[in-house]
Amino acid sequence: MCVLNSITRAFVKSNIFFILAGMTTVDSLYRPCRLCPRRCGAGRTISPGGKSAVPAGSGYCGESAALRLACASIHRGEEPPLTGGAGGGGSGTIFVSGCNLGCVFCQNWQISAGLSANRQKRAWQISAGSLIARRKCALQISAGLAARQMPAGRPVLTEEFARICLALQSRGAENINIVTGSHAVPALAAGIAAARAGISGGPAADRLRVPVLWNSSAYELPETLDLLSDTVDVFLPDMKTLDGDISGRYCGAPDYPAAAKEAVRKMMVMRSLRFEKAPGGGPDRMVSGVMIRHLVLPGHTEATRTVLRWFADHCAGRALLSLMFQYTPLGPGPQGSITRAEAGRVLGWLEEFGIDDGYCQEPVSGTTGWLPDFEKTNPFPSELSVPVWHWRDGFA
């Protein structure tokens, strides 16, 4: 669930509840909520009318059944088949508020982790693994829930979500790129379906036609991904690590490796790779399939080697790989940036494992100017992003 923020290069070549029929079925998916591998069983309630005073959910993600968005923009920092390259229209990103994983080093922490301090404690304590630590952690979580700061964003109804999609399309977006929506799959599936059907009373031609991308952490369940089978064209899952100690320590999810492998396998079954020629030239557009992103963590390149080995054995030819070196220390995650020596080692493993189809970021060590600030109408530098909608300001 990353958005790339520097140049990439090829290395070889309920709201729902108001629009959809069957609303009770959709609502019931949130109560009790077992949408993601945390399977909290939380009752995610929604206030009457789905408007402002939305009670927080009691699950790990802390979100209610109301879909909340942070911002939408035309983003030019993604891989070329997603943005169309220099002459393309860019990717139409929609940032969902909240997150079911909550990595301690998240660059989007303002919109993903209103409970970040608590989550960080929890991540460390789960990795410590003792019963006392777990009990202490549960107390801290419940205290945090009482006094939490919700991640930035505001609830949107299905129709507003559809309008945002259509606004991105009308401004030339090559696709709709939904970032970090794993905890809100039912609402997002309904919103995409509404955008594809067109706004009620709007012009018939005003329907979503571009591909829809699902940009997630891969901490997802196959049965939840099934809810996206009619609406999502391209999956962009992270493969953060296959080391349960690392995912326990930094993401509070020792089961991440098993869950992510299963989710990625499911995505590859759901969508095979397909590209289309761009009418005006430029890179072929990715219109179906899976692109797996891996962020290299400083000091943990051996864990990257394991991910690359797994990709070579299970995904080569069925998915693309996108390697990211943009790690920037935020919070108690690994410190420092990727060194040139570490990057060189990782690139050598691509050759060793015969991985030659995908994208690789230039190392960006020492620079932080690209880090997003979601308090701003345009959270990203202007050369990377054109704002279309913001949770506080509405349409730009």
Does residue 240 belong to the site contacting ligand SF4 (CB under 6 A)? Answer: no
- Please pick, from the candidates 31, 34, 300, 309, the single residue that binds ligand SF4 as defined by CB under 6 A: 34
- Looking at residue 50, its amino acid is G
- Please pick, from the candidates 3, 4, 61, 292, the single residue that binds ligand SF4 as defined by CB under 6 A: 61
- What is the smallest separation between the CB atom of 62 and ligand SF4, expressed in angstroms? 7
- What is the smallest separation between the CB atom of 108 and ligand SF4, expressed in angstroms? 17
| Residues near ligand SF4 (CB under 6 A), total | 15
Report how far Cα 330 is from the mean position of its chain's Cα atoms. Answer: 18
Type and span of the H or E element at 215: strand 212-216
Does residue 35 belong to the site contacting ligand SF4 (CB under 6 A)? Answer: yes
Q: In the beta sheet, which residues pair with residue 319?
A: 316
State the DSSP string of 312-373: HHHTBTTBEEEEE------TTS--S---HHHHHHHHHHHHHTT--SEEEEPP-TT--TTS--
Does residue 186 belong to the site contacting ligand SF4 (CB under 6 A)? Answer: no
Nearest CA-CA partner of 34 in 161, 251, 222: 222
Instruction: Give the CA radius of gyration of the chain.
Output: 20
Does residue 60 belong to the site contacting ligand SF4 (CB under 6 A)? Answer: yes
Which residue lies nearest ligand SF4, judged by its C-beta? 59
Does residue 134 belong to the site contacting ligand SF4 (CB under 6 A)? Answer: no
- Please pick, from the candidates 19, 33, 165, 321, the single residue that binds ligand SF4 as defined by CB under 6 A: 33
Dihedrals phi, psi of 208, to nearest 5 degrees:
-75, 125
Q: In the beta sheet, which residues pair with residue 74?
A: 92, 386
- What is the smallest separation between the CB atom of 104 and ligand SF4, expressed in angstroms? 16
Does residue 183 belong to the site contacting ligand SF4 (CB under 6 A)? Answer: yes
- What is the smallest separation between the CB atom of 42 and ligand SF4, expressed in angstroms? 4
For ligand SF4, the binding residues (CB under 6 A) are 33-36, 38-40, 42, 44, 57, 59-61, 100, 183
